[in-house]
Amino acid sequence: MGIKKDNLNSLSEIIKDQIEKYEHNIDTTNVGQIVSVGDSIVTIYGLDEAMYGELIKFPNNQYGLVMNIEENSIGVALFSNDITLKEGDTCTRTGKVVSVPVGDALLGRVVNALGEPIDGKGEIKTSEYRATESLAPQIMDRQKVNEPLETGIKAIDSMIPIGKGQRELIIGDRQTGKTALAIDTIINQKGKDVICVYCSIGQKNSSLVQIVNRLNKFNALSYTVIVSAGASEGAPLQYLAPYSATSIAEYWMHKGKNVLIVYDDLSKHAVAYRTLLLLLRRSPGREAYPGDIFYIHSRLLERSCRLNKELGGGSITALPIVETQAGDISSYIPTNIISITDGQLFLSSEMFNAGQRPAIDSTLSVSRVGSSAQYKIMKDVSKNLRIELANYNEMLDFSRFGSDLDKATQKVLLHGEILLETLKQKQYMPLSLAQEVVDLYVAQVGLLDDINVENIHNVLKLLDNSIISKSNNLYEKINKTKEFTNEDKKLVEELLLTIKSSLKEEISSKDNEFDFRLNE
Ligand code: ATP
Ligand code: MG
């Protein structure tokens, strides 16, 4: 039994022919194979036409983001922590970029970086989506920042005012009240027709729960969206979170609304990005951050602006937070973000520990555009504040050298102390414009200089009560007209004098806690 020679020839001919005509038509344009997987990073062979930032689909409905495109492979950051993916699995292009649900249905909700609800309150019903990355509005699409965004915090509204559409950095060491400032500002937007987005990056879940509960307690959740990528979630989601939050905010800005967005914090965001790109084997630069670390923050913060009238006049005001180490604002990430933003609120840990809270250091804080957005009445009562505090600090240094101080120096020191005390403010107690103006006015003109520093807040509280009960709606009038007339000033002075004299009487009758300095 054997194959005839002729047949053999023709068989080999056939095989030869087939080899020659063989076309490998495995599609590597839209399908790829996993080469390696680990630490939320997948390296893929294939996907020849994948684009930077494109969404890639893996088995079990898992998704990832194209972060690296090399000659022979694609680097993808995986959104889930699933460990079932393995070498050889196939994945496909989706042709889409990452987008998140947007709209009013998100108000009062807590979502992750992909816009999926994580608060257990059920599905978010919305039909609109926005890409997480979008171009910042052009110069001609913008208008000047000249409307104030009231934080309700005396030290900020008076010395470092913030305007709608401004980007103001909150910077300071750990535990100096950075988050507290942002949360108080959100609470103060109640009834002011400002929508708030709080983006939490790399925080503990327990801190987030506290924040959500606080916002709920002060009825601030109904106009707020919380976007969270916690410490337990991978670097890809932490990297994505601020872009998603900004897209959610942009929806309302383009509808002509004013939005406030807080990024808490961008130091952790930078670290997440560094982790991601080191795993992708991108070469490290200064402090091991990748070379485009400036660009990831500038393209994010440039999206906050105030649109012009033709585009609806909406705005996004951004309060990014950055943590410093030992007060060093000249390290890499802080200097980057300082140069991108329109000013910074520097929180000093020495002031915080000395009880000066909020610990805003007026010498290192600045608002580059906010002063044109400040109400005139606020300008009038606070124009000398910074200078007086600077004088006070200078004299304080001097007074440490010698004990004999002349009367003028003593006066500056005393007045400075009173001003600093007046600027102290408890957490969760933002004030209305009128309340701030009254407090700052009486402190500025020296009406509180004859009161012991420890009693300043008691007296201010009594004055507040007496304005509410006796002044025939002075606060409402000031808040509405944004004017503080001479008659108003007189009225406030009279009320304060009555309080002071009744307290003095009490002191002379018994050893009261309100002990006044003797008028020198
Ligand atoms: P972290 O670096 O951990 O994020 P942080 O800088 O965000 O800290 P917060 O968490 O806001 O600081 O505040 C730190 C502590 O200081 C909290 O316990 C907070 O209650 C308290 N605190 C903040 N602001 C004030 C204030 N104005 N008056 C009194 N206590 C305050
Ligand atoms: Mg914080």
Assign 69 to helix, strand or coil: strand
Provide the CB-side half-sphere exposure for 103 (13 A, CA).
Answer: 10
* Ligand 1 site-directed mutation target among 153, 169, 178, 323, most atoms within 8 Å of CB: 178
* Per-residue pLDDT tens digits for 193-223: 999 999 999 999 999 999 999 999 999 999 9
pLDDT at 337: 97
Contacts with 383 (C-beta within 8 Å, 6 or more apart), sequence order? none
pLDDT at 509: 66
* Per-residue confidence band for 186, with pLDDT thresholds at 50, 70 and 90: very high
Calpha distance 419→446 (Å, rounded): 9
pLDDT at 3: 55
% the chain with pLDDT above 70: 95
Residue 505 reports pLDDT greater than 90: no
pLDDT at 24: 64
% the chain with pLDDT above 90: 82
Residue 514 reports pLDDT greater than 70: no
Assign 440 to helix, strand or coil: helix
- Where is pLDDT greater, at 81 or 451? 451
H or E stretch including 34?
A: strand 31-38
pLDDT at 371: 87
Give 150 Cα–ligand 2 centroid separation in angstroms.
21
In ligand 1, which atom is closest to the CA atom of 175? 8
Contacts with 86 (C-beta within 8 Å, 6 or more apart), sequence order? 34, 37
Q: From atom 28 of ligand 1, which residue's Cα is the shortest distance away? A: 426
pLDDT at 19: 83
In ligand 1, which atom is closest to the CA atom of 359? 27
Q: Which two tokens stand for residue 108?
A: 């009062």
Calpha distance 57→34 (Å, rounded): 12
pLDDT at 519: 38
Active site residues: 368
Give 202 Cα–ligand 2 centroid separation in angstroms.
10
Calpha distance 338→316 (Å, rounded): 18
Q: Helix (H) and strand (E) counts for the chain?
A: 16, 16
**What one-letter code names the amino acid at 390?**
A
* Per-residue pLDDT tens digits for 333-361: 999 999 999 999 999 999 999 999 999 99
Residue 280 reports pLDDT greater than 60: yes
Angle of CA points 235, 199, 236, to nearest 5°: 15
| Contact present, 262 and 182 (Cβ < 8 Å) | yes
Calpha distance 318→315 (Å, rounded): 10
* Per-residue confidence band for 2, with pLDDT thresholds at 50, 70 and 90: low
Residue 384 reports pLDDT greater than 70: yes
Give 323 Cα–ligand 1 centroid separation in angstroms.
13
* Per-residue pLDDT tens digits for 390-417: 999 988 887 877 667 788 888 999 999 9
Residue 421 reports pLDDT greater than 50: yes
Residue 269 reports pLDDT greater than 90: yes
Give 45 Cα–ligand 1 centroid separation in angstroms.
48
H or E stretch including 340?
A: helix 332-340
pLDDT at 242: 98
Residue 510 reports pLDDT greater than 80: no
- Where is pLDDT greater, at 262 or 512? 262
Ligand nearest to the CA of 152: 1
Residue 77 reports pLDDT greater than 50: yes
The predicted model scores a pTM of 0.91
Q: DSSP assignment, residue 139?
A: G
* Per-residue pLDDT tens digits for 439-463: 999 999 999 999 999 999 999 999 9
In ligand 1, which atom is closest to the CA atom of 357? 27
Kindly list the protein residues whose Cβ atom lies closer than 6 A to any atom of ligand 1.
Answer: 172, 174-180, 323, 357-358, 425-427
Residue 274 reports pLDDT greater than 70: yes
Residue 511 reports pLDDT greater than 70: no
- Segment 480-485 mean pLDDT: 96
pLDDT at 517: 46
* Per-residue confidence band for 504, with pLDDT thresholds at 50, 70 and 90: confident
Q: From atom 25 of ligand 1, which residue's Cα is the shortest distance away? A: 427
Average pLDDT, the chain: 92
* Ligand 1 site-directed mutation target among 357, 420, 428, 457, most atoms within 8 Å of CB: 357
Q: How far apart are the first and last CA of the chain?
A: 131
Residue 520 reports pLDDT greater than 50: no
